[in-house]
Amino acid sequence: MDISSLGIAGVAVITVICFLVGEVVKATGLDNKWIPIICGVVGAALGIAGMFIMPDFPAGDYLTAAAVGIVSGLAATGINQVYKQLSKGGGA
């Protein structure tokens, strides 16, 4: 699979990368309150990079690409929280 043909799936790739970055930050011992901020910043950088690397990326300007990346980065944090809540078995 060619990375330039990912299109909207590139957004999911950003989320996965940001999730992994969050796990690495967690392993370093840095206070967990910084993980969402770090994931958002990494996501913004990846979103802007994705705009240049992937022709089908769903953004055509810097601001939109950064916003797509930030949302993807914060989604990685949300996915982690959903997993933690479901693994507790507490239910709703």
pLDDT per residue over 5-33, tens digit each? 566 787 889 999 999 999 999 999 899 89
HSE at residue 13, side-chain half, CA atoms within 13 A, is 15
Measured between alpha carbons, how far is 10 from 55 in angstroms, rounded to an integer? 10
Give the DSSP H or E segment for 76: helix 62-88
User: pLDDT tens digits, residue range 27-54?
Assistant: 998 998 999 999 999 999 999 999 998 8
Whether the pTM exceeds 0.85: the reply is no
Measured between alpha carbons, how far is 75 from 59 in angstroms, rounded to an integer? 18
